[in-house]
Amino acid sequence: MMAEPLLVNRTRFTSSLKNELMASFNDLAAETRIPKSRLMDEAIEDLLKKYEKKNG
């Protein structure tokens, strides 16, 4: 059995995407050479800012 890597600055969570978004997401990660986890961080930060403006 393989040990789970220790995550110090990250929290593991599970989610899912629409099927039609997955290919474009994979392409973006490959083209930019940015890990998907960093792309997800950026997307969630943008989403939080968007809703902070609406609720604030």
Angle at 52 between CA 9 and CA 48, to 5 degrees: 35
- Is the pLDDT at 40 greater than 80? The verdict is yes
Q: What is the mean pLDDT of residues 4-27?
A: 91
Q: Given this model, what pLDDT does residue 25 score?
A: 97
When the pLDDT of each residue in the chain is averaged and rounded to a whole number, the result is: 91
Query: For the whole model, what pTM was predicted?
Result: 0.79
Question: Phi and psi at residue 3, in whole multiples of 5°?
Answer: -75, 145
